[in-house]
């Protein structure tokens, strides 16, 4: 009986290594100044309200001036999420 031929297997070749995708960082130089400006405006709004006994910045808002000040501060924190 004839011997069967031995098949020669191809050597294992690993797949080509993928190049990692380059991370594109957009220019977000505006984030830090806007964030700090929001914090400072909110703090200044609240301080002015307390120092003037509620007559400034907007007299008609009365105690809602505090909410406006904290709104500016919250907006600053919202902008800070865009910082990379």
pLDDT value of position 81:
93
pTM of the model: 0.68
- E-strand spans in 1-84? none
Taking 50 as the pLDDT cut, the residues of the chain under it are none
pLDDT value of position 16:
83
Neighbours of 69 (CB within 10 A): 21
pLDDT value of position 13:
80
pLDDT tens per residue, range 27-41 = 788 999 999 999 999
Q: Rounded to an integer, what distance in angstroms lies between the CA atom of residue 76 and that of residue 41?
A: 10
Q: Rounded to an integer, what distance in angstroms lies between the CA atom of residue 5 and that of residue 10?
A: 15
């Amino acid at each position: 009986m004839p011997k069967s031929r031995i098949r020669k297997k191809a050597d294992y070749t690993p797949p080509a290594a993928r190049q990692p995708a380059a991370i594109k960082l957009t220019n977000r130089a505006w984030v830090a100044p806007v964030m700090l400006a929001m914090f400072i405006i909110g703090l200044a709004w609240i301080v002015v309200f307390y120092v003037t006994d509620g007559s400034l910045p907007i007299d008609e808002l009365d105690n809602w001036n505090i909410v406006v000040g904290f709104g500016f501060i919250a907006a600053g924190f919202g902008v800070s999420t865009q910082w990379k």
